[in-house]
Amino acid sequence: MQSRVVLILGGTSEARALATSLVAAGCIVTSSLAGRVRNPALPEGQVRIGGFGGVGGLEQYLRHTRPDAVVDATHPFAATISASAATVCARLRVPLVRLARPGWADHPDASAWVWVESMNDAAVAVQQRGLRVLLTTGRTTLAHFASLAKSFVLVRLVEPTADPLPVGWDVIYSRGPYTVSGEYQLMTSHRIDLLIAKDSGGSMTEPKLTAAAMLGVRVVMINRPASARGVPEVMTVPDATRWVISDARVIGGAGTDR
Ligand code: NAP
């Protein structure tokens, strides 16, 4: 059988593991990274870096490279690229699957958290409580929390942001995986009493939730954005591998006009 040509939309540890798995299975794999961080961990196979230039750019790229399948293994909150992939793959009739790790809805402490639908809702929920906040929602989300300027906010980022932070906010730079003892120490030393997090799922950033429960730190959890309609979903790398090798097909019929 001819090698399958696969495009992985990446930027997650699952995407890297999938690249390894598909290369081992004999696929010709290209991983696409947005280029947000310096020195990203590179997956096996070929790698391209940088935005495609919106829906039109991604369409051009797929017409040119003609993959047999696309796996959207981007972060569960990377909604724009997921929507672009869904639009373009449907248009070009390229099989597309979404690989997204399970969220934390089944976490033992999930029922104690305040679940909100958006970053703005999270900011409102915090204002109502007015506490010392640990903000872990990422560099691109900070503008949503500008209304907390008068609160103490400790922001944890992977890399510096170009935009100045409000006066009085504190910032630390680090990249997971984290440990429960490290998170406990961080929250204790900054006297944190409220944590704002995204429902990213996974084990690398989960220790903050355990530490929060141990310390009685309240948690405001932001729900994932809705997934693109009509795109099949898998939750694990083995399932995504299986899908590429044996299940990949265009939803709604076979054929291609590429
Ligand atoms: P996003 O809002 O969905 O995407 C914004 C733009 O970035 C897209 O329109 C696209 O530009 C470009 N882009 C995103 N992912 C890309 C990829 N894998 N390859 C090429 N271009 C990509 O995404 P985001 O939330 O900013 O996340 C950016 C990247 O960081 C993603 O790869 C994601 O997996 C990773 N990441 C995100 C988070 C998070 O919390 N959001 C956390 C960890 C890692 P064009 O429109 O020009 O194509």
Ligand 1 site, residue 32, Cβ cutoff 6 A: yes
Q: Which residue has the tokens 């170009």?
A: 162
Instruction: Quote the pLDDT of residue 207.
Output: 98
Peptide bond into 177 cis (omega under 30): yes
Q: What is the pLDDT of residues 135-176, one digit of tens each?
A: 999 999 999 998 887 789 999 999 988 888 888 899 999 998
Query: For 1-17, how does the pLDDT look when each residue is reduced to its tens digit (9 = 90+)?
Result: 679 999 999 999 999 99
Q: Which positions of the chain have pLDDT values less than 70?
A: 1, 128-130, 251-258
- Is the CB of residue 138 below 6 angstroms from any atom belonging to ligand 1? yes
Residue whose Cα lies nearest atom 27 of ligand 1: it is 78
pTM of the predicted model, to two decimals? 0.93
Tell whether ligand 1 has an atom less than 6 A from the beta carbon of residue 12.
yes
Contacts of 76 (CB under 8 A, 6+ apart): 100, 101, 103, 198, 199, 200, 201, 224, 225
pLDDT at 254: 36
A 10 A CB-CB count for 211 gives 24
Q: Is the CB of 75 under 6 A from ligand 1?
A: yes
